[in-house]
Structure 1
């Protein structure tokens, strides 16, 4: 093919592995790649208004379809701008490919002050990515692209940055014949040590009251977890593990993994099987949550052993394969007590009602939103009081790809995550619950939402500032709310400027009517919830245990 260059290779490679959409900001050091995407017209490029937003969109896209998300940035300042989004995708275990440029190879690593030349850009990217790769030889380009995909998709998954100097992007090459037959690499997880499996089998056989804690690494082991339920296992999940089975299942306690009622319940259990979860401090009160005495952990990451909780047995292996093997071994050997099933179901109902009664004016919000959002819709949240209180727990999730939020607990990614999720889920509705403070961090991308006509309802919980931060200041800093009160725009005017439909809720009773109208509209809608008028948000923040030590 005449005038075929490395930029063309990148574009064709992505098309051949079935990438349909990419996100980014066009700039001097990525034009050859984006020019190829534009000329070939097989892939849609979503032009974000900033690299941080573009990165979060690629992350939301990856999570919403359980596949690759792709973002393009420039080099130097552009690559630095995407850092927060790469960090979030690392937290979430998202398979994101980040393509960035570099100064020409003759100027590399010489600090000569060429355009966008930043010292040790690859080192910066390596510190935040699962891996950072430089393609500085055109003959190695395809091999390194395949390798980058493999790293991003191999559990524990994560973002990979690919740095290609501008002269390499322009380099003329012969089109590789391998492109005609290329596909995403097959990732073959290991079953692990059989002796270890024997021990786990015996733990299960000797246990009557047992629960499985499912994390991000096992959230797609749906059929296997359903079979564990049939063997009498109750299910609890990390926030990331939600949707492994429908949370309407009477044996699924969802992400109510640390409420007082369930902590008491843990004390009565013979066994907790932890699968694909780090039991991270953020969800276990910095590892002070009391878990059952017998803990068995299954994880693909060998370094997870005893990282947060000391376990009786650790097994290194692929969660889905290990669970399937255990089901095979235990088939017909486990009896299930109906009284136990009724006990778990009753506990679930008590937890739900107890929690609902804490929500004050917002007690009906989760149920109303769940009833209005189509069953296959995406439930995206930013870090807000509403999400911390009920968005992460109360609104039932049916599938892991519906559950998208900032795992790293950053304020602000919600809007962009929702845009990416919506574009990955054409024909399905997305609701994105954001706080007014976090919403402003990526506000230019309202125009990205409008330009792409993405099918998102932005539910902005407006309490005139950083409500989450104010709760922390109340709890730990004697109520001194320095710098958390913000001047926010008139959201109706903002929506009008972005050519977006707008609605407002001043009373809790109006949520159902207004949200129904917004969800039935095809395209982006900004719905402002006047938190000051609806009622004060419940107090959710409790100081972490280390702050209470003398």
Structure 2
């Protein structure tokens, strides 16, 4: 059988276990897409914009924990992916972008070849760990395998492959499928902790009377939820998570004290802790109240990326290792504490649980009665293994990220870089990786930035419940403007379409919602629908949110 460079790429993608590819087709990537579809082992999801391709692949990777792939065309198509790749980079997602480049004989000559982009690789390198411009069709399969390892090893990052048009169709020897699979199955390297530092860390943990664990997204990326829970039990320590760390521990477990670190009651509790173990986190700006939280000086910081350890808070013990291996190693070294220490830790854990209760009550007050009931409806009916996607919108910030419990890893996705608008594409990516309905919390302003991907969801029959909270503009910016004195208007009052009519025209199931009772009945119906549903929630008909900024 005659094979070309595109066939080699498709074979390599199958070998590494890719089952879904997101794409915007173009004359410059059709050979690759044709090869993928000819083989039949990978589903191609057509998106409506290249930024949507990147966002969907990012969310797919976060949901599965495996490499996700986008295929676009070079030049303007690749430029369109940059916002999505920026988010994937910020969120540490293993995404492979496959794009085109002009024919090899024209590359670098600046003659105005269609979609010519001589600095495309340099542009991609700002948000990718590695960018490869292929120079030989014979190497394409091995390059895909290698880039997958680069993307998935250590702290995950996006990678990119540029394939000149002539190499996509160049004849190559048929790929050895068995050899590709054997190569792909070689386990990814996990960094093991240094034995001496592990001993130092264990001694410091053993000295704690009032311990606390801070779990970040690195716990989930490492697949270390079980190891985290085992260590927390052994150490008798409450677990606080960052927003990206939600799902690292079941938030209904008695050891979980939520993701409330910036609330006053939790800040006061942190000030009483004498030893902290921070795992898989870089202590970002918002989760630390702009680095003002009282993190204990006796800090053990465990992370696979050595550059983040001590960056924001000095570590008493630095432990550079994979989260799963590091947590397991610490658990093995920790013994049961003396009775008096165990009593102290138990009292401290109870104090943490009470503090979390106070924090939840405050968030409930901020949500107000109607939003509180809506959040309770989602919590009650949303499948535990379904993904909750939170765009950058006020309801998500107030209650979606804090009141709807996350009980399994990889079921909470949000705009980690706080960019507005990726929600619809992210929901598409998550839904194509899950057997359960995906729930999206989205504002009307952000929805307009990615509305085209609703058509993608309809075409792919993705089971998504879009909870569209409509306040006629950028409500968050209104609040920020009011906080700063007001008066600018700043373009945040928007003329928006009839979302019911638009979603219906796209072919989505649609309903209007003006209160909590209507929301519950329509939400339950949406979960029974085999396809996307848009619930248009009129925020003007609800009791207002009462959030205080900084909380």
TM interval, shorter chain, is over 0.9
Q: CA deviation at 1:375?
A: 1.5
1:483 aligns to what?
491
**Greater shift after overlay, 223-232 or 316-325?**
223-232
| Inter-partner Cα distance in structure 1 for 2:290 and 2:185 | 38
2:415 aligns to what?
406
**Residue 212, structure 1, aligned to residue 213, structure 2:** yes
**Residue 246, structure 1, aligned to residue 247, structure 2:** no
| Inter-partner Cα distance in structure 1 for 2:86 and 2:476 | 21
User: How big is each residue's C-alpha offset from its partner over 1:118-162, in whole Å with a ceiling of 9 and x where there is no partner?
Assistant: 231100011111221111112322222111000111121011111
Q: CA deviation at 1:184?
A: 4.5
Structure 1 contact 263–291 (Cα < 8 Å) conserved: no
User: How big is each residue's C-alpha offset from its partner over 1:416-469, in whole Å with a ceiling of 9 and x where there is no partner?
Assistant: 1001100111x3111111000100111111111111111101000001011111
1:437 aligns to what?
445
TM-score (normalizing by structure 2): 0.95
User: How big is each residue's C-alpha offset from its partner over 1:74-129, in whole Å with a ceiling of 9 and x where there is no partner?
Assistant: 00000000111111111111111100000011111221110100231100011111
Structure 1 contact 504–527 (Cα < 8 Å) conserved: yes
Q: CA deviation at 1:334?
A: 6.3
Structure 2 contact 514–537 (Cα < 8 Å) conserved: yes
1:225 pairs with one of 195, 217, 228 = 228
Structure 1 contact 381–406 (Cα < 8 Å) conserved: yes
| Inter-partner Cα distance in structure 2 for 1:218 and 1:465 | 36
2:38 aligns to what?
39
2:391 pairs with one of 382, 387, 392 = 382
2:322 aligns to what?
318
User: How big is each residue's C-alpha offset from its partner over 1:329-358, in whole Å with a ceiling of 9 and x where there is no partner?
Assistant: 114356533433332222222221222122
Corresponding residue pairs, total = 541
| Inter-partner Cα distance in structure 2 for 1:358 and 1:495 | 30
| Inter-partner Cα distance in structure 2 for 1:320 and 1:186 | 15
| Inter-partner Cα distance in structure 2 for 1:184 and 1:125 | 28
Alignment of 1:195-206 (within 5 A): 195-206=196-207
User: How big is each residue's C-alpha offset from its partner over 1:276-299, in whole Å with a ceiling of 9 and x where there is no partner?
Assistant: 100011321221222223222111
Q: Secondary structure at the match of 1:296?
A: strand
| Inter-partner Cα distance in structure 1 for 2:181 and 2:400 | 45
Alignment of 1:317-466 (within 5 A): 317-333=321-337, 336-337=342-343, 338-360=346-368, 361-425=370-434, 427-466=435-474
Structure 2 contact 12–142 (Cα < 8 Å) conserved: no
| Inter-partner Cα distance in structure 1 for 2:502 and 2:324 | 46
| Inter-partner Cα distance in structure 2 for 1:270 and 1:56 | 40
1:548 aligns to what?
none
**Residue 110, structure 1, aligned to residue 120, structure 2:** no
User: How big is each residue's C-alpha offset from its partner over 1:237-265, in whole Å with a ceiling of 9 and x where there is no partner?
Assistant: 11111111100012211211211101000
Q: CA deviation at 1:226?
A: 1.2
**Residue 506, structure 1, aligned to residue 514, structure 2:** yes
Q: CA deviation at 1:477?
A: 4.9
Q: Secondary structure at the match of 1:267?
A: helix
Q: CA deviation at 1:191?
A: 1.8
| Inter-partner Cα distance in structure 1 for 2:84 and 2:432 | 18
| Inter-partner Cα distance in structure 1 for 2:23 and 2:416 | 22
| Inter-partner Cα distance in structure 2 for 1:522 and 1:159 | 32
Q: CA deviation at 1:538?
A: 2.5
Q: CA deviation at 1:539?
A: 3.3
Alignment of 1:284-295 (within 5 A): 284-295=288-299
Alignment of 1:142-181 (within 5 A): 142-177=141-176, 178-179=179-180, 181=182
| Inter-partner Cα distance in structure 2 for 1:40 and 1:245 | 39
**Greater shift after overlay, 75-84 or 126-135?**
126-135
Gaps of 5+ in 1: 544-550
* 1:282–1:111 CA distance, 2 compared to 1 (3 A): farther
Gaps of 5+ in 2: none
1:496 pairs with one of 501, 504, 521 = 504
| Inter-partner Cα distance in structure 2 for 1:455 and 1:153 | 28
